[in-house]
Amino acid sequence: MSSLLVVGSVAFDTIHNHLGSHDRVIGGSATYASLAASQLADVRLVGVVGQDFPREAVEMLRSRGIDTSGLEVAIGETFHWEGRYSDDLTSRETIQTDLNVFADFNPKIPASFQDSEFVMLGNIAPQLQLHVLDQVQRPKLVIADTMNLWIDTALDALKELLTRIDILVINEEEARQLTGYHHPLAVAEALRAMGPETVIVKRGEYGALLFLEEDIFCAPAYPLKAVADPTGAGDSFAGGFLGYLAENGHTDLRQAVICGSAAASFCVQDVGVGALAELTREHLKKRIRDFRELTCF
Amino acid sequence: MSSLLVVGSVAFDTIHNHLGSHDRVIGGSATYASLAASQLADVRLVGVVGQDFPREAVEMLRSRGIDTSGLEVAIGETFHWEGRYSDDLTSRETIQTDLNVFADFNPKIPASFQDSEFVMLGNIAPQLQLHVLDQVQRPKLVIADTMNLWIDTALDALKELLTRIDILVINEEEARQLTGYHHPLAVAEALRAMGPETVIVKRGEYGALLFLEEDIFCAPAYPLKAVADPTGAGDSFAGGFLGYLAENGHTDLRQAVICGSAAASFCVQDVGVGALAELTREHLKKRIRDFRELTCF
């Protein structure tokens, strides 16, 4: 299997939603992305946790084939986010963010990870994402996620990052904020002018749009009877997407988008990483077929 | 060609948007739906206008093959709506609604229209939609649109209507209001329990979902560089959808949804009915192929 380096947050999430309160479940962008990709590639995780991070959680990641030798254990407590979702899960408010050891995160890529063929830069400060790129050799493909916080506070670094990645994965709202445009074609044109050859705009319950030169692909979100928790859906999408490309040697971006959408659809069926921790390649393959049934005409 | 009866509003719209102010352009649900279907079926229009409605507009409809002998000219002025769109066109506020002759609209279906094979009940009071159904013989297929106003003010009549139609076409927000559910599968299950075998949920710039028994089809909206005016997009969708079924004898609902989406995509490219008045079957066919390119994987 191809090697896939994932750098991002590893965290505790306390989630209040229509199902109740869920205290300190395992989360973080690197966790979700690594789990989503773990059945498709040799995933190498780089992140930081505190001394309170449970050994069982690390064991769970390892049991999925994820190389956790880049998961630094720092003195202090693990990054903790607490938030409350609206009943329809379309919006959320942050109650508390305790950066803890994540405040001083300075990703060090182990020597054995520096030859990674595929690189996913999860949603961390663009300065840190750039620092990761300085440490890896010649990856076949680099994708990055970002968020409104960095658009507001680190725009110059973000713009530099955009010139150094192949694929940007970004929420629709944040893509609009970054470009000042509303309609998808205008948004994508402006983003691609900033650097990345390919742009993927995530639209939550409405799916995702892929823009590659003049080519546009529109993927739906998988319709579910009930959604438990959308936390990590975007990271699972990115993990499933890049995992597909790693498994298949970077060929069919459309199939990869569907694989990412499939991974995200499993993610949201459970609170935290519950469903992803059980995910098999067969589950993904079956859901990719279901996506075909959903969209063919 | 098969016969398609369209009943709804024929109106003047005054539209304020990012392109400027557009005074008293021709609009109305029946106008948009009739034009969208006009190249696919023998469209028979039933509506009411005032003495101020321009002869040229009626001529334009006739030139598209639309039978306007059911377009009543009443003493008074034509229904007039005035509204302002947000710059991103995702919301609008009504400035003024002058029902005028539409206040007393009581659709009379001419004897020569009563054998219509396909019936579209545009968004008018459900009591009037029921009154139309009482006047037609045995249509092959009846579809209806509705809106929040009737959910708020005429729920009983709307519920009766739902037991007498084959396909409900409804905006996602209004479908959520009517059922109390958020997620598409739950919404569709609740709507189908109210009567219609098939439900189509319109999601604006995110496309449409078709629910037919256990079958679900997800269609995107066509991505455009720029949208001029979304007024009438939903009615154009319904017209293109039912026009396709009329042309092809009610077979492939998925293709019909794409045809409706194609018609809507032309509608929004121009203010008012400008683009629809020029639409050919070739334009529709070409765009249906583009939809395939947009979604295949």
Q: How does DSSP assign B166-199, residue by residue?
A: SEEEEEHHHHHHHHS--SHHHHHHHHHHTS-SEE
E strands within chain B? 3-7, 11-17, 20-27, 42-49, 67-73, 80-85, 92-98, 118-121, 141-145, 167-171, 198-202, 208-212, 215-219
A217 → closest Cβ in B255, B257, B297: B297
According to DSSP, residue B223 is labeled: P
- Asked if residues A49 and A72 have their Cβ atoms less than 8 Å apart, the reply is yes
pLDDT of res. B276: 96
Half-sphere exposure of B293 (CA within 13 A, CB side): 12
Q: What string of H, E and C letters represents the secondary structure of A5-69?
A: EEECCCEEEEEEECCEEEEEEEECHHHHHHHHHCCCCEEEEEEEECCCCCHHHHHHHHHCCCEEE
Please count the other Cβ atoms lying within 10 Å of the Cβ belonging to residue A23. Answer: 11
Residues of B in contact with A212 (CB under 8 A): none
pLDDT of res. B56: 97
- Asked if residues B53 and B77 have their Cβ atoms less than 8 Å apart, the reply is no
Does A183 contact B209 at a Cβ distance shorter than 8 Å?
A: no
B218 → closest Cβ in A183, A209, A294: A294
Does A223 contact B255 at a Cβ distance shorter than 8 Å?
A: no
Please count the other Cβ atoms lying within 10 Å of the Cβ belonging to residue A64. Answer: 18
β-partners of residue A83 are: A15, A94
Nearest C-alpha in A relative to B290: A216
Go through A37-63 and write b for each residue having 16 or more CB atoms within 10 A of its CB, e for each that does not.
bbbbbbbbbbbbbbeebeeebbebbee
What backbone torsions phi and psi does residue A194 show, to the nearest 5 degrees? -80, -10
Tell whether A260 lies on the interface with B, counting CB pairs under 8 A.
no
pLDDT of res. B249: 86
Q: What averages of pLDDT result for each successive group of 10 residues across chain A (297 residues)?
A: 97 97 97 98 98 98 98 98 93 95 96 98 96 97 96 97 98 96 94 97 96 93 93 98 94 96 98 95 96 96
In 3-state terms chain A splits into helix, strand, coil percentages (rounded to 5) of: 40, 25, 35
The shortest C-alpha distance from B136 to chain A (Å) reads 32
What ipTM does the predicted assembly reach?
Answer: 0.91
Q: State how far the Cα of B58 lies from the Cα of B80, in Å rounded to an integer.
A: 17
pLDDT of res. A245: 97
Does B297 contact A257 at a Cβ distance shorter than 8 Å?
A: yes
* B143's tokens: 């579809």
pLDDT of res. B213: 79
Q: State how far the Cα of A198 lies from the Cα of A214, in Å rounded to an integer.
A: 10
Question: Which parts of chain B register pLDDT below 50?
Answer: none
* B73's tokens: 């000219």
Residue B130, classed as helix, strand or coil, is helix
Residues of B in contact with A226 (CB under 8 A): 183, 186
Tell whether B217 lies on the interface with A, counting CB pairs under 8 A.
yes
pLDDT of res. A196: 97
pLDDT of res. B159: 98
| CA neighbor of A196 nearest in space, from A179, A183, A208 | A179
* Of the options 3.40.50.10420, 3.40.1190.20, 3.40.50.300, 3.40.50.1370, the CATH number for the domain spanning B3-295: 3.40.1190.20
Q: Could you state, in order of their start, the residue ranges of all structural domains in chain A?
A: 3-295
Nearest C-alpha in B relative to A172: B206
Q: State how far the Cα of B263 lies from the Cα of A169, in Å rounded to an integer.
A: 31
Interface test with A, best of B87, B288, B297 (most A CBs within 10 A): B297
Please count the other Cβ atoms lying within 10 Å of the Cβ belonging to residue A74. Answer: 17
Q: State how far the Cα of B142 lies from the Cα of B102, in Å rounded to an integer.
A: 23
Considering the entire predicted model, what is its pTM? 0.94
Q: Which residue has the tokens 């973080």?
A: A28
